[in-house]
Amino acid sequence: MPRFAYKWIDKEGVKRSATAEAERLEELEGRLLEQGIALLSIRPVGGNGVAARSGDGSPRRRKVARRDLIELCIFAATLTDAGLPITTAFRDFADETRNTYFRSVLEGIATSVESGETLASSMSLHPDIFKVEFISVVRAGEKSGRLPESFTEIRSWLEWEERISGDIRQATTYPMVVSILLALFVLFLFSSVIPKIAAILEDMHVAMPLITRLILGASHAASRTWWIWLLLLVGIPLATRLAIRRSEAFAERWDSMLLRLPVLGELNSMGAQSRFAQNFAVLHRAGISILENLELCMGLVGNRCFAKALSFAIRDVGEGGTLTGSLRRSALFSPLCLRMLAAGESTGDLEKALSNVARYYNEELPRRIKHAFSLLEPAMILVLVAVVGTVALAIFLPILSLGSGLRR
C-alpha cells in the first residue's frame, strides 16, 4: 500500500509530521480532515519519492550511528527540560535527521506515545536501535519524572563509549594494518621472489649451505601452498568469530584466554572493569535497583568471564551478601575497584565510588593501550629485518662461496 508523509499544525501551534498508508492521496486527505487535522503539506514517499522503501512499504533498515543517538539525547533533554512534550522532541528531531529509517522509527514512537504507550515500551519495539540499558534508563526517568536527566545520563554514557572505542581503534589500527602487510610481504617473498633466485642458484650448480637449503625448502613449500596460508589468514578470524557466536562454551574459553595474554590480558581486564564501573554508575544514578543494574551490566562488560562473575553477584546479593565480597571471590576485579566498591557500599554512595573507578580507567586505559602498541611497532620492524636479513644471508652465502672458488 502506498505511504505518504504529511505535516500539520496542532491545537498548540506546534508543527508536527507523520507518515500514513492509504490507497490514494485523496483518501488520506479526507481521512485526516475528518480528524480535524489542518494539513500543511502531504507527499508520497517511495518509488520516485524521497526515501527508499522495502517490499512492505516501510523504510529499509539502516544502521543508526551512535552519533545520531547522542544528538537525539541532546535534543530530547533540551526540549523536555524546557517543558515541551517528548513527542514534540522526537518529531522535530525526525525532521532533522537524514537517516530515513531512523526518521520513520522516531515518528512511530511519537505516535505510539500519543496513543497512550510509555516511551520505554515504544522504544523497546526497536532493539536494533535502542539497547536494553538505554530503555532501562528511560523507563526509570519516566517513573521518577526525571526524563531530561535520564537523556543527559544516556548522552554521557554514549559519548564515553564513543571516546573509548575511538581511542582503542586509533591505537590498534596501525599495528593491525602493519601486521597484515608484513604477513602478506613474507608470503609474497617466499612464494614468488625466492623461487626465481633459487632457480638461478641451481643453474649455477653452487654448493648450498644449510641456511640456504632451509630457506629454499620453506620457499618451495610456500610456492605450492601459498593459497592455503592466504585462506588461513582470512579463515581463522572468520571461523573464530563464527565459533564464538555458535558456542557459548567456546566463547567463554576464548574470553578467558584473552584475559591471560601477556600485556593484552591486562588491557582486556581493565576494559571490562571500566565498562562495568561506568555503566553501573550511570544506571545506579538513573534510579535502577542493584540487582537489575547487575543484570544489565552482564551484557555490557564485553567479557563472558566478568559477566559470569556478575551473575554470581546477583545470586549473592539477592541472598543478602555484599557485592564486594562476591566480586572478590571471582579473582577478576582489581584491588582498586574492590576497595572503591567496598567504600561505596559502606557509605551508601555506590554511584560516586564507581564513577571514580570509571574516571581512573578512562584515563589510564587509553594510555596503557598506546604504550603497549608503541612497543609492538619496533618489534614488528625487528621481525621484518630478521626475515629479510636471513633471506639475504641465505642467498649471498652461495654467491660468496662461488666467488671465492673462482679466485682459487
Q: Is 373 exposed, middle or buried (0-12, 13-18, 19+ CB in 10 A)?
A: buried
The Cα-based distances of 116 to 10, 109, 110, 150, 189 in angstroms read 18, 11, 10, 20, 68
- Mean pLDDT, rounded, for 44-64: 52
CA distance 94 to 110: 10
Cell of 268: 582486556
What's the pLDDT score for residue 15?
63
Coil vs helix vs strand at 287: coil
Query: Count of CB atoms within 10 A of residue 349's CB?
Result: 13
CA distance 176 to 180: 6
- Mean pLDDT, rounded, for 81-107: 87
Tell me the backbone φ, ψ of residue 8, rounded to 5 degrees.
Answer: -155, 170
**Superfamily for domain range 164-408:** Type II secretion system (T2SS), domain F (1.20.81.30)
Kindly tell me the sign of the dihedral angle through the C-alpha atoms of 149, 160, 65, 136: negative
What's the pLDDT score for residue 36?
66
What's the pLDDT score for residue 47?
40
Specify the residue for cell string 633466485: 197
Q: pLDDT tens digits for 320-357? A: 888 888 899 888 898 888 898 888 888 888 878 888 88
Confidence of residue 51 (pLDDT cuts 50, 70, 90): very low
Coil vs helix vs strand at 263: coil
Lowest mean pLDDT among 123-127, 175-179, 297-301: 175-179
What's the pLDDT score for residue 67?
87
Cell of 118: 510509555
Whole-model pTM: value is: 0.61
What's the pLDDT score for residue 380?
77
Lowest mean pLDDT among 58-67, 297-306, 363-372, 380-389: 58-67
Lowest mean pLDDT among 74-88, 152-166, 264-278, 390-404: 390-404
Q: pLDDT tens digits for 234-259? A: 888 888 888 888 888 888 899 899 88
